[in-house]
DNA sequence: GCCGAATATGACCGGGTGGTCACAGCGTAC
DNA sequence: GTACGCTGTGACCACCCGGTCATATTCGGC
């Protein structure tokens, strides 16, 4: 969707623009993000942005997609499923802890994730989330299906219900420890890693209670 | 927090301002909502808004809290808990179905709920959600505690974990059937009431599996 | 060295923003 | 009847927005 000028752009320049855009859209979301600020931070004229993308929305969509690709690449290690002999709930705790740790270490990707999940404009949100959800579901559903086949989860488990709740919990865990006002029950904001792990264990226990094979 | 002028305001005028604000903030969220538009729609001078509230943020916070109070008032019938002899999962299905039906009938309250839950600015979000969450938690936690006392839920149930997930599911059910791009698993957007009920049943079954007393 | 195409630039445009303030209108007390 | 205090008003302020475009700069082929 971006112009050929963007695709052929000098690597360093493209990375500067991308990082500035992730930071600005991450801070203020799509509609609140300022192209003036992005151009200034990237050390680039505003007019250049309109030679790379036809308009602001395409620019944001590109930034969001690029970000989701980076996240998926980094989480690939967990998508294989539990190691042989590892209980499924232990595995899920590990994976979610890794998930939280990733976003702790990558504030830029976390901010863009927040912007993606907190977008108000229905069209923008639908367009941007579509790609993100496809990436998650393509990985998560097979993971759960393999768990059923292996006997880790009950054969009659309602995987859609579990997936549905997981898709709510994942962004919550990615954001709540680092942004205020998201979790009034556990108060995840600003918690230490070991405290987060304890909460994750409680959530996983509650979540999987009806799914783990006995 | 609003000024005494607002509290003493003529009933009709206050309601006009409130409805216009709910519609505008509902459409475009806090930062995107225009005070000019609200004033015009309410048939009121913009200057008047600043005699009722000190600034835009206080205005939005008041609108959000007032909305949550109306929602809770409407849901009061469910907050008493299950009727004698009614299984707890049946009760929760009924309550959530009522919840969805309420937002189907009240697009203004639904839009404000969306704006509240999709706000990007951390300070605004924290301030606004604080009031909203307090309203919900004040009702939900006692409801679950009574369920434990009555023997509907297991005595060792992790109520915080359940509450935490419930606070994710509630806005999801309030919004996903009516706004696109929120539910990629069940595809709730645009579904009929009976289909929604079936999904709710599946979610409740999965959610309560580890909590219902046997 | 030179030319044409591609790219970079930033002043500029129309329009919208939250917030202010000098003034108008009105009801009431005396 | 008039002075006063509260409320309503909208033109106005400084500022910022996404997007444009004439011009400057760069670069590859010859």
Residue pLDDT, tens place only, A123-143: 899 888 888 888 889 989 999
Q: Do A206 and B205 touch (CB under 8 A)?
A: no
Instruction: Give me the torsion for CA of A142, A136, B209, B140, rounded to 10°.
Output: 180
pLDDT (average), residues A152-168: 96
- The residue whose two tokens read 């993308």 is A53
**What Å value separates CA A8 and C1' C4?**
20
pLDDT for A51: 96
Given a contact cutoff of 8 angstroms between Cβ atoms, the answer to whether A78 and A95 are in contact is yes
- The residue whose two tokens read 């702790």 is A104
Distance of alpha carbon A59 from the chain centroid: 18
Residue pLDDT, tens place only, B114-136: 999 999 999 889 888 888 888 88
pLDDT for B172: 97
Is strand C within 7 Å of residue B121 (CB)?
no
- Cα nearest neighbour of A114 on chain B: B120
**What Å value separates CA A116 and C1' D22?**
37
Distance to chain A for B130, nearest Cα, Å: 7
pLDDT for A135: 84
Q: Residue B1: is its pLDDT beyond 80?
A: no
Q: Do B125 and A169 touch (CB under 8 A)?
A: no
Cα B152 to Cα B162: distance, rounded to the nearest angstrom? 14
For residue B199 the two structure tokens come to 């999904």
Residue pLDDT, tens place only, A103-124: 999 999 999 999 999 999 998 9
Distance to chain B for A5, nearest Cα, Å: 31
pLDDT for B136: 87
Q: Which residues pair with B212 in a beta bridge?
A: B153
Is strand D within 7 Å of residue A36 (CB)?
yes
pLDDT for B177: 97
Distance to chain A for B34, nearest Cα, Å: 13
Is strand C within 7 Å of residue B50 (CB)?
yes
Residue pLDDT, tens place only, B27-70: 999 999 999 999 999 999 999 999 999 999 999 999 999 998 89
The nucleotide closest to B32 (CA, C1' atoms): C17
pLDDT (average), residues A20-41: 97
pLDDT for B120: 92
pLDDT for A110: 97
**pLDDT band with cut points at 50, 70 and 90 for residue A64:** very high
Task: State chain B's mean pLDDT as an integer.
Answer: 94
How many Cα atoms are found within 13 Å in the side-chain-facing hemisphere of B67? 32
Task: State chain A's mean pLDDT as an integer.
Answer: 94
pLDDT for A2: 85
Contact partners, residue A5, CB within 8 Å, separation at least 6: A51, A52
Q: Which of B115, B184, B202 is the closest to A120 by Cβ?
A: B115
Burial (0-12, 13-18, 19+ Cβ within 10 Å), B123:
exposed
Q: Which residues of chain A have a CB within 8 Å of the CB of B158?
A: 202, 205-206
- Cα nearest neighbour of B209 on chain A: A210
Q: Residue A33: is its pLDDT beyond 90?
A: yes
Q: Residue A214: is its pLDDT beyond 80?
A: no
Is strand D within 7 Å of residue A27 (CB)?
no
pLDDT for A46: 97
Q: Which residues of chain A have a CB within 8 Å of the CB of B163?
A: 185
Q: Residue B167: is its pLDDT beyond 80?
A: yes
Q: In A 32-91, which Cβ lie closer than 7 Å to strand C?
A: 44-48, 50-52
End-to-end CA distance of chain A: 49
pLDDT for B29: 96
Cα B193 to Cα B93: distance, rounded to the nearest angstrom? 13
Cα B95 to Cα B75: distance, rounded to the nearest angstrom? 8
pLDDT for B130: 85
Distance to chain B for A10, nearest Cα, Å: 32
Cα A119 to Cα A136: distance, rounded to the nearest angstrom? 18
Which of A91-100, A105-114, A121-130, B163-172 has the lowest average pLDDT? A121-130
User: Nearest-CA neighbor of B32 among A132, A125, A43?
Assistant: A125
**What Å value separates CA B24 and C1' D4?**
38
pLDDT (average), residues A22-37: 97
pLDDT for A70: 92
Q: Which residues of chain A have a CB within 8 Å of the CB of B28?
A: 120
- Cα nearest neighbour of A171 on chain B: B168
């Amino acid at each position: 969707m971006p112009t050929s000028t963007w695709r052929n752009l000098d690597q360093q320049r493209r990375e500067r623009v991308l990082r500035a855009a992730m930071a600005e859209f991450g801070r203020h979301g799509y509609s609140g993000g300022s192209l003036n600020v992005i151009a200034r931070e990237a050390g680039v004229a505003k007019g250049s942005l309109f030679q790379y993308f036809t308009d602001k929305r395409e620019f944001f969509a590109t930034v969001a997609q690029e970000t989701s690709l980076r996240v998926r690449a980094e989480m690939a290690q967990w998508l294989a499923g539990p190691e042989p002999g590892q209980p499924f709930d232990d595995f899920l705790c590990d994976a979610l802890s890794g998930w939280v740790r990733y976003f702790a270490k990558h504030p830029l990707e976390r901010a863009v994730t927040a912007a993606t999940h907190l977008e108000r404009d229905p069209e923008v949100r639908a367009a941007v989330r579509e790609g993100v959800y496809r990436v998650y579901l393509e990985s998560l559903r097979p993971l759960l299906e393999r768990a059923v086949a292996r006997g880790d989860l009950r054969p009659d488990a309602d995987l859609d219900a579990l997936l549905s709740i997981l898709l709510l919990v994942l962004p919550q865990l990615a954001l709540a420890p680092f942004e205020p006002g998201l979790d009034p029950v556990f108060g995840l904001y600003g918690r230490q890693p070991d405290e987060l792990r304890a909460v994750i264990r409680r959530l996983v226990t509650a979540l999987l209670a009806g799914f783990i094979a006995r």
